[in-house]
Each structure stands twice: as structure tokens, then as C-alpha cells.
Amino acid sequence: MARGFNHKLEQQQAPAFFARGPSAFARLVFFSALSLALIATDSRLQYLNSLRQNLVAILHPLQVVANAPSQLYSATGEYFSTHHRLLNENQQLKQQALKNDIALQRLSTLALENDHLRQLLQANKALVESSVLGEIMHVGRDPFTKKVIVNRGESHQIVAGEAVVDATGVIGQVTRTYPLSSEVTLITDKSLAIPIQVERNGLRAIAFGHGRDNTLDLPYLPANVDIRRGDTLVTSGIDGIYPAGLAVATVSKIEITPDSPFARIICVPTGGVENHRQVLLVSIPHIDLPASSAATPSTHKVKINPTKKPPQQTPEKSQSAPMSNPHAPE
């Protein structure tokens, strides 16, 4: 009797401490299918956007608190580095301003001397031009052309043909104007040509844009042309469009082949063709005539004395008679 009772107690098992549910594999399959279903539904119906935005808004303060130490460390390092850099830049700018002031004093003296010499020699007046500050709004949509749009147009007295420059050199030319904007063709465009002059020896040529990259070509120059690598090219001013002396490009490569009588000269633009947004639109140079020389010949009047009568001609002198032949018979 006791033996059978003990046998029944041995068959009974102790209850599990944790209640066991489905197996781990079954739960993996279920939650994977649920995740895929939610992802597919959200991608089509976009019903979790508001929930996601609310969660991000709620968690934003926690993100700020978590990023505060790193931001404080970076801000402290940036403060000291920026302070040191600004001190160095301030010192350099002061030295540069001093040099520029001396150069401006010499420039004003030379300008006065030049005007005085022109007056003494009665030479032609120098060409003058004005400039308008503009900003590049966007780049042209055609990928095969090099064009930009600036926020100055006909309402700002901008005309087609004006040169566009930045702080370092020429970047293009106004080719089309609109009421409030203008289209500028860059000097690297293959359809634009610009007369240039080598600053070292005064050699004149015409530079063409390469089109495919930001370079210029000097075609049809003989192989023995006096151009060196590193020469600076400036506008010659003989076309009457570009003011003379503006930096255009620098010679970067010269190739001479025995089978060609011409040299292949590649130049890199000096101006920031694709770097800067603020540009200057320089007007076409014109001669500034003074008010005294602008008077027309019709303004010069002859003073006539009304008391003095003009001499009257006799009828004999006023009428023309044929000359008599002395040898004619009477």
C-alpha cells in the first residue's frame, strides 16, 4: 500500500517556476511576419508618420541631454581655435591694409599725374566704366554649356556684352538680359572667345573656352611663340568690350609636336568660375567727355555789330560779264 503511494508521488513533477508559452522558434516566426506586415503597410499607407514624428519629438530632449557633453567639448575647442585664428587673421589684415593704403596713395598720385600729362599733350580721354554688384542665383539647366543666372537685369541698366568679374579675375560675359536677371556665359564655355594679352611681353591672342573642363585654349599660335608656363593672361581691351588689364587665366601646359606647326597651349582661369556667388557686372568702357568739349559746333555764335552795315556791291561788280577780246575788230 505504501509502496504504491510512493510510486504515484514519484510520477508527479514539481510545477515550473516560469510559465512556458510557445517555443522560441514559433515566436521568432510570428514576430518576423508581423514586422514584415507592418513595414509593408507603412510603406504604402504611411500611417505611422505621425506616430514616428511624435516619438522623435518626445525623444528630442533626451538626445539633447545625451549630446550635451560632446557639444560642450567641441564648442570649447572651437572657441579657443577660432579665437586664435581670428587674432592671426586680424594681424594679417592690418598688415595688408597698411600695404594697400600705401599702394592707394601711390595710385592716386599716378592718376593725377596721368591726367595732367593728358591735358598737356591734349591726348584722348581714358576709357571709364562702372560696375554693378550681383549674385549668382542658379546654374543653367543645359549640362553641355557653361552658363549661370545672376539677379541683375534690364531694370538695373545691364546690357548684353558686359564683362562679369570677381575678386580674382574675369569669369564670363553677359549674353542675354531679362527684366530682373541676366544670363552669363562663362569663359570656359566653348562658344565664348576673349581677346587676351600676355602680361610679360604684351603678346596678343584670343582665348577660347574648352567646354569639357574648366580650361581655356590658345589655338593657332606658332610652335616658337614666346609663351612660358606660368605666364599671366589679361584682357587686351582692343575689342571695346572688356576693360584692359583684367586677369583672365594662367598658362598651365604647353605641348609642341613635330607634326603640327601650332602649339597646344592650355590655360587655367584665374577667376573663381565655379566658386564664388558674388560677382561684379562691369559696363562696356566708354569715353568720358567733359562738358566743355561736348558742345556742338552750332553753339558757337558770331557777334555782329548792328551799327555797321555790310559793304554793298555795285551792279558792275556783282554781275559777271564776258571778257572782251582785244584783237576783235570794232
pLDDT over 60 (residue 186): yes
pLDDT tens string 274-328: 777 888 898 887 655 555 444 444 434 334 344 444 444 444 433 334 444 444 4
pLDDT over 90 (residue 173): yes
Is 287 within 8 Å of 118 (Cβ atoms)?
no
169 burial via Cβ count (<10 Å: 0-12, 13-18, 19+): buried
Q: What is the mean pLDDT of residues 73-84?
A: 82
Range scoring the smallest mean pLDDT among 6-20, 74-88, 265-279: 6-20
Strand 182-186 relative to strand 216-217, pairing: unpaired
Rounded CA-CA distance 115/6 in Å is 131
Strand 127-128 relative to strand 232-235, pairing: unpaired
Give me the architecture of the 129-287 domain, per CATH. Beta Barrel (2.40)
Segments of the chain assigned to CATH 2.40.10.340: 129-287
> For the chain, what is the mean pLDDT?
78
Query: Which of 9-13, 89-93, 300-304 holds the top average pLDDT?
Result: 89-93
Radius of gyration over alpha carbons of the chain, in Å? 43
75 burial via Cβ count (<10 Å: 0-12, 13-18, 19+): exposed
pLDDT for res 78: 81
* CA neighbor of 270 nearest in space, from 254, 250, 286: 250
